Amino acid sequence: MTKFLLALLASAVTPAIAAAAPPPQKPKLIVMIAVDQFSAELWEKYKGSYTGGLKRLDGGVAFAQGYQSHAATETCPGHSTMLTGRHPSGTGIVANEWIDRATGKPVYCVSIAGHDGATDRGALNIKATTLGDWMKEANPANRVVTISGKDRAAIALAGHKADAVYWWNDGDGFVTSSFAGPSTPAVTDLSSSFNADVLARWKQSPPALWPAAAPASCTALAKPHTFGTFAESGQIPPEFVQGVTDGADFPASPAFQLQLRNSTLFDPLVEEFAGKVIDGMKLGHGAGTDLLGVSFSATDYVGHRFGNGGAEMCVQQQVVDAAIGRLLAKIDSLHVPYVVALTADHGATDAAERETENGTPAQRIDARSIVIGLNAALRQKLSLDRDPLIGADANELYFRPGLDAATASAVTAAAVPWLKARPEVSDVHTRAEIEAVPMPRGEPRSLTILQRYRESYDAERSGDIFIAFQERASIGLPKKFGDSVAGHGSVWDYDRRVPILFWWPGVRGAQPTAAAETVDIAPTLAAIARIPAPPVDGACLKSVAASRCGR
């Protein structure tokens, strides 16, 4: 056989060999990493600059076409899909906050009815089980531990039977709750000692919330902007951090706590605590398989406060990349077989002003004024003495409790054309329209807007009128630091598309062209760990788990 034919044969079989890469061995530790507001657009923009954990994970099985395929692109719904295998329609987590249809009062996604304490949080509102629950059912010796800067992120990853669930509570440090998991000394001593050490360290030597200057790779993005009526220099460090570590009440001061969450100090803090928990609980060295969930929140806070197109996000991407690298190095040191999955709860768009400056049509929308105007028009048209529509989110409106069926029908008939006539609105759908759509299956890239809403719909908790604002819209009018200048929550792909990455020691890198969904992660990890999974919306990914899918 000639060298040419040998080369031709080799080129023909190489793709088949790559596609048949062996799955990871049964792990002693499963690691689920979430990066809040880590859009596929952000990942694609910065992936060439990563040198730490994100670079390593990108060398595994990396799905560029990853989706939070539903419409409810917020933190709580997105996290609820990752380890349940269910869309928000199945988890019941339709938003960060929804309206109780009986009382008209907002319900926080991880709140506990009848308990109003700052740390009274748990998974009681989550209607689905998680990978951690399946693991505990299969073997009580399997352990489940989750950590995040946000309570809703840690709790949604943990599920109902976790061994330890931690989140950062401003002024206190990392905390837990008996509603989220055990609050025994074995759990709380780890966080209490860490908090005391960190607060003492900060008191002795105030930490730098941001680098002293932007690295060279980010300096070109350090430009002044005005978002709404709020002007900022765009420089690193942001001018708003000056003085927040002064005063006798530091580090518990509200000014410092506000800045901490949207700074480059927050994710390393989560990573450092995760390392302490790994050591303290000897994760990976138990009698069964352990699950560690870590959700990094700072990308979301930075994105909201500064947008994702400036030097602030450029610096933050370097920081989270390094933090994930240190976390993976810590896990390497355990010398146990492990597998990692990474994704995001949702994407985002940059602030409308900067999107427009960069050539992408965008607008800033005062959604609150639109809802006020709509209610005023409905009161006048229908001779009502009260606003007929309420909502925690302008994207989703509810009938005021006590509205009779005839009036509700009249409100809908008048509200839909009024909203559709607004130039800021792309489309409007009603509860009846969404309920009439069958639950979609398959390709997330081709879902209609109604199908995206259907994947987010829960009859008990969802609203009555759903508003899709124009693409790339920034909702709200920022006036001061702390106001959101950019965000997410729309039905559009920039909020739905997220990276989905799998990595394990010895992985053969692959970049599947097929789309994957975050609901595919749990059944895939369950197959790798030989954990029985209940019927879910997602599917085991054969490009990751190979022949173990379907066993």
Q: How far apart are CA 370 and CA 475, in angstroms?
A: 11
Provide the sign of the torsion angle of the four alpha carbons 423, 69, 42, 231, taken in this order.
Answer: positive
Q: Catalytic residue numbers?
A: 75
Q: How far apart are CA 470 and CA 468, in angstroms?
A: 7
Q: In whole angstroms, how far apart are CA 468 and each of 74, 205, 367?
A: 15, 48, 11
Q: Is 525 exposed, middle or buried (0-12, 13-18, 19+ CB in 10 A)?
A: buried
Left if phi > 0, otherwise alpha if psi is -120 to 50, otherwise beta: which for 222? beta
Q: In whole angstroms, how far apart are CA 414 and each of 39, 376, 427, 444, 449?
A: 36, 12, 15, 33, 22
Q: In whole angstroms, how far apart are CA 201 and each of 195, 242, 275, 326?
A: 10, 20, 17, 20
- By DSSP bridging, strand 396-399 and strand 465-469 are antiparallel
Amino acid at 189: D
Left if phi > 0, otherwise alpha if psi is -120 to 50, otherwise beta: which for 249? alpha
The SS3 of residue 227 is: strand
Q: How far apart are CA 302 and CA 256, in angstroms?
A: 15
N-terminal to C-terminal alpha carbon distance within the chain: 41
The SS3 of residue 228 is: coil
Q: How far apart are CA 494 and CA 194, in angstroms?
A: 37
The SS3 of residue 231 is: strand
Left if phi > 0, otherwise alpha if psi is -120 to 50, otherwise beta: which for 173? left
Beta bridge mates, 62: 501
* Structure-token pair, residue 341: 């999955």
Q: Which helix (H) or strand (E) holds 425?
A: strand 425-430
Q: Which helix (H) or strand (E) holds 30?
A: strand 29-35
> In sequence order, what are the residues at sequence separation of 6 or more whose Cβ sits closer than 8 angstroms to the Cβ of residue 476?
228, 364, 365, 366, 367, 368, 483, 484, 487
Q: How far apart are CA 47 and CA 55, in angstroms?
A: 7
